[in-house]
Amino acid sequence: MGTLPADLHLHSKLCGHACGELEEYIERGIEVGLEAVGFSFHLPVEIPHEGKVNVTREELDFLAGEVERLRAAYGGDIPVLFGGEADYLPGSEAEIAGILAAYPFDYVIGSVHFIGTWAFDHPGYTDEFDSWDLLELYERYFGLVCEAARSGLYDIVGHVDLVKKFGHRPDGDWSGLLDRVCRVIGECDLCVEINTAGLDKPVGEQYASEAFVRRLCELGIPISFGSDAHAPDQVARYFDRAVALARAAGYSSYACFERRGRAARPL
């Protein structure tokens, strides 16, 4: 049994912006003592972006087979989970549902990367932040997060406050918005990941923020952990800090998944 919680947010070089072989991610997970590794491949959802971001259906077919092969190869050392990360855009629900029905996923992460056609988390498009009132931007972004939660498609809310990635935050108190988002997620019986990738971004903070994590715990909403690794050396990055944050907020367990079923594991 590993000493760190499962890392459920690992990617593949087939998304076009990651590197390394799947075996390297798994071996890194074993090395650092993860309880399980979970690949959350960028699913082939149509998005308003021209570059290679998501895998194709053919690539996903290949990856599904690879996960089965790797489960057999590493099953004695660490569980290997088959997950997906699906972009949420209004109107994409049927497309996503069709993909989810075609594969034996252990879990699915729902993420918002686009506001309209704006890839707000892309470093090439940060100028557009200047055209927004930041409180209105947060209302718009978290409105999409709530729509994603209510869609019934997902098991995990991915990097819930990703909109802060480049350090843009509204002035004043927006705790009421945070509370509304947490309540919707709770009503939809979803899990929220603590995604440590934000610690390497300009914001210098994990997704979700400490205030988010505290409120999630108060409402009894389960958490998972994800490094959002796009390279093997990023597997479980900053997990010691993430676990400490979760415990300080009051968590004693975290969520893991099998065939879309959620189970609590001791933290």
pLDDT of residue 233: 96
In the predicted model, what is the mean pLDDT of the chain?
Answer: 96
pLDDT of residue 1: 57
Amino acid identity for residue 105 in this structure: F
pLDDT of residue 69: 97
Residues 90-122 have pLDDT tens digits of 999 999 999 999 999 999 999 999 999 999 999
| Confidence band, pLDDT 50/70/90 cuts, at residue 258 | very high
C-alpha radius of gyration, the chain, whole number: 17
Across the range 245-267, mean pLDDT stands at 98
Share of the chain above pLDDT 70, in %: 100
Closest of 2, 1, 7 to residue 257, by C-alpha = 7
Residues 147-199 have pLDDT tens digits of 999 999 999 999 999 999 999 999 999 999 999 999 999 999 999 999 999 99
| Confidence band, pLDDT 50/70/90 cuts, at residue 51 | confident
pLDDT of residue 31: 97
pLDDT of residue 21: 95
Instruction: In whole angstroms, give the CA distance from residue 22 to residue 29.
Output: 11
| Confidence band, pLDDT 50/70/90 cuts, at residue 17 | confident
Of the two residues 37 and 16, the one the predictor is more confident about is 37
Domain residue spans of the chain: 7-266
pLDDT of residue 14: 85
Q: Which CATH superfamily is domain 7-266 in?
A: Metal-dependent hydrolases (3.20.20.140)
HSE, CB side, 13 Å, CA atoms: give it for residue 224.
31
Across the range 133-145, mean pLDDT stands at 98
| Confidence band, pLDDT 50/70/90 cuts, at residue 50 | confident
pLDDT of residue 15: 79
Share of the chain above pLDDT 90, in %: 93
Residues 216-229 have pLDDT tens digits of 999 999 999 999 99
- In this structure, are residues 220 and 187 in contact, taking their beta carbons and an 8 Å threshold? no
